[in-house]
Amino acid sequence: MRSELAGEKRQFGHRARLALTPAQIRLVDDQAHAARTMWNLLHDWWKMLPREQRSLAAADAAIRQARKEIDWLAVLPAQAAQAVLKTYLQAWKNCWDGRADEPNFKARFRTVMSVDIPQGRDLNITRVHRRWGMVNIPKAGRVRFRWTKDLPVGKRADADNRITGARLVKDALGWHIAFRVQTLQSKPEPHPGPEVGIDVGVTVPLALSDGKTYDHGEWLTEKEQAELLRLEQRAAHRKTFRKRGEKPSRRLRATYDQIQALRARAKRRHLEWQHQTTTDIAKKYGAVVVEALSITNMVKSAKGAIDRPGKNVAQKSGLNRSISQEAWGRTVELLTYKAARHGGAVHKVPAPGTSQRCSACGFTTPGSRECQATFVCKNPDCGWYGNADHNAARNVLHLYRIGLVAIPAAGRSSRQARKRVKPTTAR
Q: Could you tell me how far CA 16 lies from the centroid of its own chain?
A: 16
CB of 347 closer than 8 Å to CB of 288: yes
Strand order in the sheet with 114-117: 114-117, 162-171, 174-186, 7-19, 141-146, 132-137, 126-127
Collapsing DSSP to helix, strand or coil, 251 comes out as helix
Distance of alpha carbon 227 from alpha carbon 233, whole angstroms: 10
Distance (Å, whole) CA 402 – CA 321:
34
- According to DSSP, the residues that pair with 19 across neighbouring strands are 144
pTM of the model: 0.78
CB 175 within 8 A of CB 268: no
Per-position pLDDT tens, the chain of length 427: 344 445 778 888 899 999 999 999 999 999 999 999 999 999 998 888 888 888 888 888 888 888 888 888 889 998 999 999 999 999 999 999 888 888 999 988 788 899 999 988 889 999 888 899 999 999 989 999 999 888 888 888 888 888 999 999 998 888 999 999 988 888 888 888 898 988 888 888 888 888 888 888 889 999 999 999 999 999 999 988 888 888 888 899 999 999 999 999 999 999 999 999 999 999 999 889 988 877 777 777 766 555 666 666 677 777 777 777 788 888 899 999 899 888 888 998 887 877 878 877 877 777 655 556 788 787 777 877 778 888 888 888 888 888 877 654 333 333 334 344 444 443 3
Q: Which residues contact 232 (CB under 8 A, 6 or more apart)?
A: 259
324 vs 320: CA distance, rounded Å:
6
The per-residue pLDDT for range 299-352, each reduced to its tens digit, is 777 665 556 666 666 777 777 777 777 888 888 999 998 998 888 889 988 878
Distance CA(425)–CA(286), nearest Å, equals: 11
Instruction: Please count the residues of the chain.
Output: 427
C-alpha dihedral (91, 93, 95, 98), degrees to nearest 10: -140
